[in-house]
Structure 1
Amino acid sequence: MEQHGARGGTGRRRFGRAGLLAAVTAGCAVASLAAGPSWAVRHPVPRPDLGVVAPGAPEASILPAVAARPSDSDLEVVRLDPDPAPSGGTTTVNALIANRGPDTTASPFTVVVTLPKGVAPEGPYFPEDCEVAEHGRQVRCVFGPGLKEGRTRTALVPVYLSPDLPLGTLGGGSVEVHSVDDRDKGNNRQPFDIRVVETA
């Protein structure tokens, strides 16, 4: 039997039957991968963005998902009657609010002063941004969070008494406080009286 070397006289590589079968098989495998369906090649799934980049920020920052939770605090209106005043004169309503705790307030609260008939608000008020509402019958003042247990805040509302008010005790006024933090609504309102006296 004639023996053939690895290379013939022309320099081409010769294969036996087993070598030829292996080469054909490998070529089919390559062709199969090249012509395979698009789903056969897996692409990395993009990860969702967890942060946002604020303008001017050097890197991404995470935004809070929820607002701050209300505190466990109890706001109370402390009754204080204004100083007596004559008809045609002025006095000041002191709307005193106390935090009975146990927590420091985490949310703003609104103080609403309702005035008796014959009495009109007359600024300036404290805080300065108090607003007059209900055709002059109410003054609403907003205080920010951070009132500690045992501490107080006071809204000051100067008022003018109508000249035709009779002498005596004038009722119908009240002070209320409203806050999402407040867990006891039973002490959120107190009335006040204005004593109309003779001109000194």
Structure 2
Amino acid sequence: MSTKTWYRAATMVGAATLLVGGPAWAGPQPAPHAAAVAPSNSDLEAVRIDPDPAPAGGLTELHAHVANLGPETTGSTMTITVVLPRGTAAEEPFYPDNCTESENHRRLRCTFPAGLKSQRTATAIIPIRFDDDVEPGVLRGGSFTVQSPDDRNHANNHTEFDLTVTAG
């Protein structure tokens, strides 16, 4: 490398350092206050998927499925709230592992971080144990709801699901 080229390269690096870091005599400046992030323009939809049948005392699994219909990636967290019908109880492990359950194990809240892309999905997975004395048939009254500051359409945020108890 010639002396002239070396000098130009050193001058450019020095100038870039000054522009990025500021002059050496300037003290650190406080960062400007971050503006609150506005919610994205997203449409979250609760998608009904009935769990597989199981016998009394048996285990099935709820997939509380949420789709982001877009058009934007979510910029805020979303919460899925699950309500289970009588004759059932949630049983760990849950996905995501931040799900919290009520004392009677029939109501759960699960949160997902911001960043669900448009046309993508997220699923809370909740194992469900049927009571030993539940009669064979269909248990109604199960539901889940999704909530987020980003969601602009609340008409599709709730769905119900049925649980089928088979003869043992």
TM-based fold match above 0.5: yes
Structure of larger gyration radius: 1
- Quote how far apart the aligned CAs of 1:65 are: 4.6
Residue 156 (structure 2) aligns with: 187
Do 2:82 and 2:144's aligned partners in 1 also have CA atoms closer than 8 Å? yes
Residue 130 (structure 2) aligns with: 161
Task: Tell me, yes or no, if structure 1 residue 71 matches structure 2 residue 40.
Answer: yes
State TM-score, norm by structure 2: 0.81
- Please give the secondary structure, in 1, of the residue aligned with 2:155: helix
Residue 5 (structure 2) aligns with: none
Distance 1:118 1:63 in 2: 55
Distance 1:182 1:76 in 2: 9
Residue 115 (structure 2) aligns with: 146
Which residue of 88, 106, 120 maps to 1:137? 106
Distance 1:134 1:144 in 2: 25
Distance 2:41 2:166 in 1: 43
- Please give the secondary structure, in 2, of the residue aligned with 1:136: coil
- List gaps (5 residues or longer) in structure 2: 1-26
- Quote how far apart the aligned CAs of 1:63 are: 3.4
Which residue of 102, 107, 121 maps to 2:71? 102
Distance 2:85 2:92 in 1: 17
- Quote how far apart the aligned CAs of 1:61 are: 3.0
Distance 2:51 2:58 in 1: 13
- Please give the secondary structure, in 1, of the residue aligned with 2:49: coil
Distance 2:39 2:102 in 1: 27
Which residue of 87, 92, 97 maps to 1:128? 97
Q: Which has the higher contact order (CA 8 A, sep 6+)?
A: 2
Distance 2:63 2:141 in 1: 15
Q: Deviation per CA, 1:75-95, whole angstroms, max 9, x where unpaired?
A: 000000000010011101100
State TM-score, norm by structure 1: 0.69
- Quote how far apart the aligned CAs of 1:59 are: 1.5
- Quote how far apart the aligned CAs of 1:62 are: 2.0
Count of residues in correspondence between the two structures: 142
- Quote how far apart the aligned CAs of 1:135 are: 3.1
- List gaps (5 residues or longer) in structure 1: 1-57
- Please give the secondary structure, in 1, of the residue aligned with 2:143: strand
* Partner amino acid, structure 2, of 1:62: A
Task: Tell me, yes or no, if structure 1 residue 85 matches structure 2 residue 54.
Answer: yes
* Partner amino acid, structure 1, of 2:120: R
Identity among equivalent pairs (%): 46
Distance 1:183 1:161 in 2: 36
